[in-house]
Amino acid sequence: MWSVRKKFWNAFAVFKFRRNKPVVFPIPEDTPTRIQTVPFSSKYPSIPVDNIVVADHVPKDEVAVARYYFYQFQVWMYRVFSPMQAGLPQIDKDAHEALAEAYTAKHRKCFPPPTLPMSLEGDVDLGLLAVQGPFTAYLEKVSDGEYQWDLRDLSNYEHHKGLHLLGVKVLFRVEPSSKSLQPYQIESELGVHGPADRDWALAKRIALCAISNHTSLVRHYNWVHLSSGAPFAISTRNNFPGDHPLRRLLWPHMFGSQNSNLIVSKGQMAKGGDFETCFSFTHKGMCHLFAETYLKFPIITCDPEREAAEHGVDGADFDTPTLDNLKNLFDVMCRHVDRYLRHYYESDEALRSDQRLSEWLEELEKLIPNGIGKVVGDDVNFDSLSRLMAGLIYIGTVQHELLGTHLWNYQLWIHKLPARVYKNGNREPLDVYQRLVNANFNLNVRRRKLLDDFSYLGLDPDGVKLLKQFQDELRELDEHMTREGKEVWKIYPANLEANMNA
């Protein structure tokens, strides 16, 4: 039965990948019906999360009937002929053999297999992983020369039976001679261990599992899609008419949000969905995790420079390659928004006098958990507004890539970054790994690229030029990064999608 089940769901994943078409963004029109927010559980009764709010309806221009019913069929099939089968053997102990078994020739015709990052080669280098790749935002300063990953709260959420709890704290020291970080202590349910202790390797696996789970569930889906992406799109539609210059600026980076979240939440978060079956938490534990971490969303994550400063990492005496990469991307976005604003507004006072803009900011403050004050501050001006708008673009493009699609080269090496750590020492069973592979595979479907031409959205010849200039600068950055040499961990402008949905 597993052979039949596997063939069906692999064929389904490949069919879905091949049939996906990048969305064409229409010229925005005035919003005919204001979008209201309702509790998450009112739209998804089988997912008992009340405090997350979602749109009460999908805007007409986002409705994709065929896609909606196709996904409904997929969710129905999860119940009728689940991708999961109890009692299966473990995946092969050789990571490459396990991948070859799960990622078939038909998959590979659609998309190349993952590349193993340097940080995961051999014995995983936690210090390198802390500054290079998708997990860099977890690093926080404790004291001079000492930093941490603190994920101890993950122990509070119900795990599947037989798994180690994922609540961990990893402490790092700076190695001045190499300007790198070295882990020296891990606190977990096993106790407190150092590199010389017998249980260090197991504690390390638990830490790696924790950060992989948290990235996919919290930082990616909860914080990018639900906490920030949806409110951004709702407020933009509600407060700017179709011909407002700021609606045109933001449109490519938020179109499709409500439709995407409506469709995908069912398959990911429902009982028997991807999140419950691929990762460590039961459905109850996952819902509890989403409810509590939604309330903790930090808007500062939209600004890599300020987030790093708040975490005590910016200007640290060790190398921060991914942070540098992210800051370069964010700088291009900030310059773009600043130029655009200065074209349409004469002064800071003119910004503050735009009633539509004021109402947009007020609704963002209301809808985004913990508000937007840490970015905007007390004064609306070119600088604060540029950083906020660039940050919202950054979340849906760079952050979504870093925490979602980019995991392709990390999470599929499940021997290094486990999705679950079993107390009996077993590796993940075949069905868990196969579903994780297909879920990550479908994150890589073709979407509208950030470097595609959106100049048709410009309101006037100068607006068109400004939209083109943004893409010209992104291409220049991409060419510069490529000349430096291709690296698995880098986020290249050419790989970025225009937003998290299209």
pLDDT of residue 212: 98
Q: How many CA atoms lie within 13 A of 229 on its CB side?
A: 31
pLDDT digits (tens, 9 = 90+) for 200-241: 999 999 999 999 999 999 999 999 999 999 999 999 999 999
Task: Give the model's pLDDT for residue 475.
Answer: 98
Pick the CATH number of 2-22+39-116+206-495 from 1.20.245.10, 2.40.50.140, 1.20.1250.20, 3.20.190.10: 1.20.245.10
- Is the distance from CB of 127 to CB of 180 less than 8 angstroms? yes
Q: 3-state class of 113 per DSSP?
A: coil
Using alpha carbons only, give the angle 357, 362, 366 rounded to the nearest 5 degrees.
145
Phi/psi zone of residue 159: left (φ > 0), alpha (ψ -120 to 50 degrees), beta? Answer: beta
Residue 172 near residue 126 (C-beta atoms within 8 A) = yes
Look up residue 313 and give its two tokens: 């990492």
- pLDDT at residue 107 tops 70: yes
Distance CA 342, CA 351 (A): 10
Please compute the mean of the pLDDT values over residues 384-407 and round it to a whole number: 96
> Where do the structural domains in the chain lie, given as residue ranges?
2-22+39-116+206-495, 125-205
Q: Starting at the edge strand that comes first in sequence, how are the strands of the sheet with 140-143 ordered?
A: 140-143, 146-150, 169-175, 180-188, 191-193
Percent of the chain with pLDDT over 90: 92
pLDDT at 474: 98
CA distance linking residue 499 with residue 266, whole number of Å: 20
Residue 419: closest CA among 125, 157, 100, 163: 163
How confident is the model over 274-284, as a mean pLDDT? 97
Give alpha helix (H) positions in 103-170. Answer: 105-110, 126-129
Q: What is the distance between the alpha carbons of residues 263 and 55, in angstroms, rounded to a whole number?
A: 12
pLDDT in tens, 332-352: 999 999 999 999 999 999 999
Q: Please determine, for residue 144, whether its predicted confidence score (pLDDT) is greater than 80.
A: yes
pLDDT at 502 over 70: no
Rounded CA gap, 82 and 85, in Å?
A: 7
Residue 246 has pLDDT above 60, yes or no: yes
Residue predicted with more confidence, 395 or 20: 395
71 vs 82: which has the higher pLDDT: 82
CATH number of 125-205, picked from 3.40.47.10, 3.10.450.60, 3.30.70.270, 3.40.50.450: 3.10.450.60
SS3 225: helix
Query: What is the rounded average pLDDT of the residues 471-479?
Result: 97
CA distance linking residue 136 with residue 410, whole number of Å: 13
pLDDT class of 501 with cuts at 50, 70, 90: confident
